[in-house]
Chain A
Amino acid sequence: GAGVSQSPSNKVTEKGKDVELRCDPISGHTALYWYRQSLGQGLEFLIYFQGNSAPDKSGLPSDRFSAERTGGSVSTLTIQRTQQEDSAVYLCASSPITLAGTQYFGPGTRLTVL
């Protein structure tokens, strides 16, 4: 079956612009996670969704970052007023309730802020 998909695969933007990154989880997976992967910091947790609610936003690095999930499915990560330090690969993962803990990752969106 289809895995986790993310779009766009690559995004180049100018400093100060807003960007939206999309994640389509595996159908039926109730849990959804966003992570950021950068050379200096490795893989870092950003936010966790259970259904449409986000009980853990502790990894969001600043208030410029926000995320939502609708219909218990698609999630969008929004970065406002992008900065060069936001350049990274943003990864989404989903997990079924029956195998909680087993996270399936998408291919990521590579964000470059000029």
Chain B
Amino acid sequence: QQQVKQSPQSLIVQKGGISIINCAYENTAFDYFPWYQQFPGKGPALLIAIRPDVSEKKEGRFTISFNKSAKQFSLHIMDSQPGDSATYFCAASGFASSNYKLTFGKGTLLTVNP
């Protein structure tokens, strides 16, 4: 059972455009939702994270939108740059417990063309 579904699998955007990646979760016990960025040959790096008590969080060009009733959240990358080309993973965990093991989406390969 895939608990976090991510789409699209791949995305091509022109420089300066907006990249949007969507995720949906099933487990209502999840209450911490991070996004990770991964470059080839590197480990995932935390980009931005949100808890369900807010509907949106913005850090620089990156924004998470969260819809608790729909059990969906999305990452928006504004003014996308070629350096943003990477694989992006959404994830979820139960923040209220001491074990914050992450359940990941399958990833989105983002290509930003110059």
Q: Could you list which residues of chain A lie within 8 angstroms of chain B, going by C-beta atoms?
A: 4, 31, 33, 35, 42-45, 48, 50, 55-56, 59, 91, 93, 95, 100-108
Contacts and interface: CB of A to CB of B under 8 A. Distances in A.
Nearest to A108: B43
Interface SS of B by simple majority: loop
A50 B98 contact: yes
B101 to A, nearest CB: 5
Contact of A59 (B45, B95, B101): B101
Contacts of A42: 89, 104-107
Interface of B: 32, 34, 36, 41-46, 49, 89, 91, 93, 95, 98-107
Nearest to A3: B43
Give 10 nearest A-B pairs by CB, closest first. A105-B43, A43-B104, A101-B100, A45-B101, A42-B106, A105-B44, A101-B32, A107-B43, A56-B99, A106-B43
Q: Name the residue in B43, B46, B49, B105 with the highest tally of chain A Cβ atoms < 10 Å from its Cβ.
A: B43
B105 A4 contact: no
A43 B89 contact: yes
A49 B41 CA distance: 25
B43 A4 contact: yes
18 contacts: A33-B101, A33-B102, A42-B105, A42-B106, A43-B102, A43-B104, A43-B107, A48-B99, A50-B99, A55-B98, A91-B43, A101-B34, A102-B49, A103-B100, A103-B102, A106-B43, A107-B42, A107-B43
Nearest to B98: A50
Contacts of A104: 46
Q: Name the residue in B36, B41, B100, B101 with the highest tally of chain A Cβ atoms < 10 Å from its Cβ.
A: B101
Nearest to A47: B101
Contact of B46 (A4, A100, A102): A102
B100 to A, nearest CB: 4
